[in-house]
Amino acid sequence: MAEVNFKFGTLIRTGPKLKSGGKWDATLEDEVRNATTNAALTISIRVNFVKIDPAAGRSGTYNDTDSRARKIQRWAPGEFEDYTGKLLRSAQKYWSGIFWLRAPHAYAGLDWPDARPNHRCNVYCRLDLAAARSATDAHYTIAAVRVQDGEVFRSNSVLYSQKDIQSENMIPQSTVKFWTHYHEVGHLLGLGHIGWAGNHNLHSNNSPRAYGVTRKDKIDVMGMGSVRRHWHALPWQQAAAVFTDTKPKDWTVHMHYLAPTLIRS
């Protein structure tokens, strides 16, 4: 379900079909436009982190994604807050300010100035990722455990461990690293797994093939790597389309600065 108030108001994406990803608020700021500055489209996600400690004592077990009991320990004072802060800051830095959307040729709603426009402004894509004030304020509630050192723990979009902000090498004979929290925030944005030829952006598919078959697909952040690609801008394309009554595909994705263009008379 999408609810939007023009011009441009706030877009609220929510609903049961988006439970596993794609719930967020978005704003399209047009007041920042000028001959050198584009409109700014910000997707906002608020996360309620729940600290999971052993039921009793300093150590215990907790089931991971594979329903396997893994050894956990109690979070040390301040450790949980430090971890969640680092996770949010680094994931926001990874995803924010990476994409620009070129305005459709037929859409003049962002032309500047409003009276007698002479520049066609585009859209700069940002992510605002932060801790929620409360559970009711959150788009997502995510449990976080402190796994014992040396223990394997497989996370998912609503269950993290302190290891998720550490890099891993998941692709044999490749130097491309993988960070779990970059991948999982991709899911929160609404992105699926990379998949394989003809089967990209897969949702609810955790088979090995869903993480990529070819090296090109495997190194994708929605596979087993950390490479960002044009298709990852889809959430911003979807938001831009709703705000402007256009189609997502009308907004061409660029991964470099895209200056407003002079409108020739």
Total number of domains in the chain: 1
Q: Which of 3-7, 177-181, 220-224, 257-261 has the lowest mean pLDDT?
A: 3-7
Confidence of residue 265 (pLDDT cuts 50, 70, 90): low
Asked if residue 253 has pLDDT above 90, the reply is yes
Confidence of residue 18 (pLDDT cuts 50, 70, 90): confident
Confidence of residue 5 (pLDDT cuts 50, 70, 90): very low
Asked if residue 24 has pLDDT above 90, the reply is yes
The 3-class SS string of the chain reads CEECCCCCCEEEECCHHHCCCCCEEEEEECCCCCCCCCEEEEEEEEEEEEEECCCCCCEEEEECCCCCEEEEECCCCCHHHHHHHHHHHHHHHHHCCCCEEECCCCCCCCEECCCCCCEECCEEEEEEEEECCCHHHCCEEEEEECECCCCCCCCECCEEEHHHHCEECCCCCCCCCEEHHHHHHHHHHCCCECCECCECCECCCCCHHHHCCCHHHHCECCCCCCECCHHHHHHHHHHHHHHHCCCHHHCEEECCCCCCEECCC
pLDDT, position 198: 81
pTM, full prediction: 0.93
Domain span at residue 85? 2-262
pLDDT (tens digit, 9 = 90+) per residue, 187-241? 999 999 999 988 889 988 888 999 999 999 999 999 999 999 999 999 999 999 9
Percent residues over pLDDT 70 in the chain: 95
Asked if residue 160 has pLDDT above 70, the reply is yes
pLDDT, position 4: 42
pLDDT, position 19: 67
pLDDT (tens digit, 9 = 90+) per residue, 121-138? 999 999 999 999 999 999
79 or 2, which is more confident: 79
Please provide the average confidence, as pLDDT, over all residues in the chain. 93
Asked if residue 173 has pLDDT above 80, the reply is yes
